[in-house]
Chain A
């Protein structure tokens, strides 16, 4: 039965592509260029000798650069999935702030260990208000696939998920968060996240 439907589906796919293509072509480079700019800025800060001694200042500077590009609200919302709407407005705000801190601390050391790897911007796909930019971080003997998923709000494209080597960050946290909330409570999740943030911060200060 699928054989009969195949030509029809192929035709649909072609129609979709034809209708989206002109729009996609116009924006195709803009999103990637934008992202590239932010990534380059971050890498400049990482390589900057003036920050070598002052880790805190470097971290603050990186936070300033990536802040506008990251949609922490969307990341937090998607990570909590069905548990999000059960929260009060205050709880939502607290959670997003804490989640942002957790992410920053978790990935800070990885970003800062960057040492002249080459980043290739492989492709960009736009589907309506969603976009995905695929990149490759090429190291000496292998390459790491890092894909950025962006969401358009108004004129801005902001990151709402990372796919590293095929694994989605949001899906990873979603599984963990739902497990903790189901077993204990949202309060316990906040507690665990706070503890983790403190632990990571202590580790960083020791480096």
Chain B
């Protein structure tokens, strides 16, 4: 009887442990977008070095979407962005590839425009700023102009 009781207790604790770990990993891990509540827009960049699928998209530092895919189109990088429903993007919105800090993760930062027209779902954002090549700028600064 005692043995069974102990085994049962251990079993329950193991189960609780596994459930807790699953909950923790789900909470902490990158959640896959479930489809509902987001719409897609596209933007073409000349260089997105470092930007990958699931990269974050922010407005004023607040994450409002994620990169759903990156493809090559016409020599440019076509990025598919999933934006949360309810976030409106005016036509003259500018999207830029930025880093967290100087050499951190690459993200997309959105600078909202003021146009009355909005980018529709599936539409293309015309105004883009590509990733800045800091090493090139640094070497220009170090070696200067002749």
Residues of A within 8 A of B (CB): 2, 5-6, 9-10, 13, 17, 77-78, 80-85, 127, 130, 139-142, 149, 161, 163, 165-168, 170-171, 174-175
Q: Shortest Cβ distance from B108 into chain A, in angstroms?
A: 13
Q: In the assembly, what is the distance between CA of A174 and CA of B127, in Å?
A: 13
New contact pairs (20) apart from A77-B114, A82-B90, A140-B146, CB-CB < 8 Å: A2-B53, A2-B69, A6-B71, A9-B73, A17-B74, A78-B92, A81-B92, A85-B114, A85-B116, A127-B126, A130-B126, A139-B145, A141-B145, A142-B140, A142-B145, A161-B127, A167-B132, A168-B127, A168-B129, A171-B127
Per-residue interface assignment for chain B, residues 64 to 108, with 1 indicating a CB less than 8 Å from any chain A CB and 0 otherwise: 000011010110001010000000001010101000000000000
Q: Is the CB of A9 within 8 A of B71?
A: yes
Q: In the assembly, what is the distance between CA of A91 and CA of B103, in Å?
A: 41
Partner of A174, one of B111, B133, B143: B111
Question: Please, which residues of chain A bring their CB within 8 A of the CB of B116?
Answer: 85
Tell me the dominant secondary structure on chain A's binding face. helix
Q: Shortest Cβ distance from A143 into chain B, in angstroms?
A: 11
Question: Please, which residues of chain A bring their CB within 8 A of the CB of B111?
Answer: 81, 171, 174-175
CB-CB under 8 A for A171 and B129, given A77-B114, A82-B114: yes
